[in-house]
């Protein structure tokens, strides 16, 4: 099986008065090397790796594991919050983009216990 990679546009949330421009983000899942995890690559070579089920849970209700928090924001958006020694990055996505990515990951490989 080959990896699932999807490019998306997201907004980095800041305390600026105006809305930040959309930035390119890569979503990646590789069933052969890490079947339980997804990768989110933010601009500046920042990569976050976390459980695929955290992403799924976070699209329905607030969910957190370690340095990653995900929650729905209204009816059409989702927010991811990444904590590191350098600070916090808050990224807002269209939920349908993340849902489409998740569906592709589940068709790439069956979920096993």
Residue 72, both tokens: 């729905």
User: What pLDDT, on the 0 to 100 scale, is given for residue 86?
Assistant: 82
Closest CA to 26 of 46, 52, 12, 53: 46
Question: From CA 104, how far away is CA 10, in angstroms rounded?
Answer: 19
User: What pLDDT, on the 0 to 100 scale, is given for residue 16?
Assistant: 61
User: What pLDDT, on the 0 to 100 scale, is given for residue 66?
Assistant: 94
User: What pLDDT, on the 0 to 100 scale, is given for residue 103?
Assistant: 94
Per-residue pLDDT of the chain (113 residues; tens, 9 = 90+): 588 999 999 988 866 656 667 889 999 999 988 899 999 998 887 899 999 999 999 999 999 999 999 999 999 999 999 998 888 889 999 999 999 999 999 988 655 55
Question: 31 near 109, Cβ under 8 Å?
Answer: yes
């Amino acid at each position: 099986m080959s990896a699932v990679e999807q490019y998306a546009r997201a907004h980095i949330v800041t305390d600026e008065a105006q809305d930040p421009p959309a930035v390119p983000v890569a979503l990646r899942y590789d069933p052969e090397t890490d079947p339980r995890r997804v990768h989110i690559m933010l601009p500046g070579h920042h990569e976050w790796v976390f459980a695929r089920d955290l992403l799924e849970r976070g699209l329905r209700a607030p969910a957190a594991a370690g340095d990653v928090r995900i929650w729905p924001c209204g009816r059409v958006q989702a927010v991811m919050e990444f904590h590191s020694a350098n600070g916090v990055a808050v990224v807002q996505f269209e939920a349908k983009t993340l849902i489409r990515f998740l569906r592709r990951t589940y068709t790439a490989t069956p979920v096993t216990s």
